[in-house]
Structure 1
Amino acid sequence: MKPRIGMLIRMKSGDNHYVIGQSDINSVKNAGGLPVLIPVMSSTEDIPEQVANIDALYIPGGPDINTLLFGEEPIIGMGGSRRSDDIYEMEMIRQAAAKNLPILGVCRGEQVINIAFGGTVYQDIPAQYPNALRHRQPDPGCEMTHSVKVEKGTALYALCNCERLEVNTFHHESVREPGRGIKVSATAPDGIIEAIESEDGRIMGIQWHPELLQQEGGVHTAVFKRLVELAGK
C-alpha cells in the first residue's frame, strides 16, 4: 500500500469551500504517496483519530498566523488570519510529532511548525528586517529568484548535497526564533531563515514553494520523496 500522506486543507476566505493547491497534491502523488485530505475544523477533538489514519503530515502554504499565538500584538503589515485554523494546525502538528510521524511544512506550513514548538516569526519582513531581499516575487511560481545557503550536517543538505540552492519566494513572514528542538537548515543571503528541521530530521519546514518547482527536480522533488519514504518505514 502507498503511504498515506495527510494534507491539511483550509476553508477559503469568504467562501464555504475547502481548498488546497493542485501542485501540492500532485507533488505528493508523484512522489509515491497517497494524498489524504484533512479538513481543518473549528474543534480539535477529531485530531487523534485523524493522526491515527495517516503515515505522514503535510502542511501547505496559506494566510498569516494570529500573532497572539506567539505572544505578540499585530503590526500594521500583518495580513488576515484565522485563529481557529492556526490552533487546529498546531495541535495536529504536536500530535503527529508525538506519534513520530514525518512532517513537511511549506511556507506558512514551516512557520506554523515553528510556532507549534514555541518559536516566533517576523510578522512583516519589510517592516521588521532592515535591508531584506525581495521575498515576494512578482514572477511566476516556476521562476527561481534568489538563492539560499544550506547548512552542512542537516537533513536538507543530505538531500541536495550542496551549500547553495536557487528558490522561488512568496512570503512576507518568516521564522524569527526557532522553537524547541528546531534548528535552522537554510538561510537567504540577507539572513532570513529559509528552512528548518527537527534534530532528527523527521520534521522539515521549507519557506519557499518546492511544489511549484517540480519541473526543476533536485531537492524540490526530493523533499516530497523523502516525506513519502519516511512515511513508508
Structure 2
Amino acid sequence: MTSQAKAPLIGLTLDSEQPGGYSKFPWYALRQNYCSAVTESGGVPLVLPHEPTAAARYVELLDGLIVTGGAFDVDPALFGGGAKHATVTTKDARTQFEWAMVKGMLAADKPVLGICGGQQLLNVVLGGTLIQHIPDAVPNALAHEQPNPRNEAGHDVAITPGTRLQAIVGRDALPVNSAHHQAVQQVAHGAAINARASDGVIEGIEHAGYRFCIGVQWHPEFFISEGDRALYAAFIAAAAKS
C-alpha cells in the first residue's frame, strides 16, 4: 500500500436528494464505505459536488474517478432509448456532471471505475445503450434488486475469460450483491463484456483503449469477496501511475 503522502487522489461522485429527511434543503449523499474502500486500498478519497464548470479542474487534480451508484437512472434520451419507462427516475444535474467527469478523465487517460449506475453511465458515455427495466425485458430474470442486505451476495456472475477483470480477480465467477433495475443492453463500440449473470444480464464492461476503464453492476465497495478487494487494488494501482 502506498504512503498517504503519495497515495493517489480518487474522486467519488455524490448522489443528490431533494429537501426532506437529512435537510429541509437539497443535499448530497454517499455511503461511507465508498470512501473507506478507497482508503483501505491505498487511495485518498475526495467527494465531488455536481459542478460541471469545475469538472476540468477536478480532472487536473484527480488521479482516478469512481462513478458511484444511487437512486437514479440515466435519461433514455441520452442513448436513444425512447420514452421513459414508468420506473425511471432521472437526476439531470448529477448526470450532466458525471458525463463531463467521465469524458474528461477518459480524454486524459486517467482510471475510471463505474459502479452500478456508474457502470450504466459509463456505457452510455462510451456510446452504448441500456435496458430501462430488467423485469420487462429479460424473461425469468434474477432478483437484481436483491431482498437480502447489500453486504451479502445476491447471486453469482460469470467472469469472461481473457478480460482484464478476469486477470484482476483471478477467478471465473464471483458472488456479487445486486441493487439495480437497469442494465447494459448494447455494449459501446470498442468496449467488451467482462461479466454476466446466469439470466444473461450484463454485469460488467471494460474498454481496452484506456489505461483503466472498467464498470461493474454490483457494489464492490462492500468487499464481500476477495475479487472485490482485488478490483479496488488494481484501480488504485492504476491511479497511482497517473
TM-score, normalised to structure 2's length? 0.90
Question: Residue in 1 aligned with 2:15?
Answer: 10
Picking from 157, 171, 187, the partner of 2:180 is 171
Greater shift after overlay, 156-165 or 50-59?
156-165
Letter in 1 for 2:32: Q
Counterpart check, 1:37 vs 2:37? no
Amino acid in structure 2 at the alignment position of 1:155:
R
Pair 1:19 & 2:29 matched? yes
Give the 5 Å matches for 1:107-146: 107-146=116-155
The one-letter amino acid of 1:2's match is A
Structure 1 unaligned spans of 5+: none
Please state if 1:182 is matched with 2:191.
Answer: yes
After TM superposition, give the deviation of residue 75 of structure 1 in Å. 4.2
1:77-98 deviation line (CA, Å, top 9, x unaligned): 4331112221221121011001
Q: What pairs up with 1:155-170 in 2 under 5 angstroms?
A: 155-170=164-179
Secondary structure at the counterpart of residue 29 of structure 1: helix
Amino-acid identity (%) = 32
Match of 2:93 among 79, 84, 89: 84
Counterpart in 2 of 1:151?
A: 160
Supply the distance in 2 between the matched residues of 1:97 and 1:90 (Cα, whole angstroms). Answer: 11
Structure 2 residue matching 1:46: 3-state secondary structure: helix
SS in structure 2 of the partner of residue 35 of structure 1: strand
Distance 1:107 1:90 in 2: 15
How many residue pairs were aligned?
229
Give 3-state SS (helix, strand or coil) of 2:99's partner: helix
Corresponding residue number in structure 1 for 2:64: 56
Residue 57 of structure 1: CA displacement? 0.4
Does the CA-based 8 Å contact 2:81-2:129 persist in structure 1? no
2:110 maps to what in 1? Answer: 101
The yes-or-no answer on 1:209 pairing with 2:214 is: no
Given that 2:85 and 2:132 are in contact with CA atoms closer than 8 Å, whether structure 1 keeps it comes out as: no
What SS does the aligned partner of 2:48 have?
strand
Structure 1 contact 74–123 (Cα < 8 Å) conserved: no
Cα deviation for residue 180 of structure 1 reads: 2.7
SS of 1:45's partner is: helix
Mapped pair 1:230 → 2:235: no
CA distance in 2, matches of 1:10, 1:76: 21
Displacement of 1:160 in angstroms is: 1.7
The answer to whether the Cα contact below 8 Å between 2:127 and 2:189 also exists between their aligned partners in 1 is yes
Instruction: String of CA shifts for 1:100-152, please: whole Å, max 9, x gaps.
Output: 00010110000000000111110000012222111111100111121111011
Q: Distance in 1 between matches of 2:221 and 2:192?
A: 22
How far 1:217 moved relative to its partner? 4.0
The whole-number CA distance in structure 1 between the counterparts of 2:162 and 2:138 is 27
CA distance in 2, matches of 1:37, 1:136: 26
TM-score after normalising by structure 1: 0.94
Work out the CA distance in 2 between the residues paired with 1:60 and 1:38.
11
The answer for unaligned runs of 5 or more in structure 2 is: 1-5, 20-24
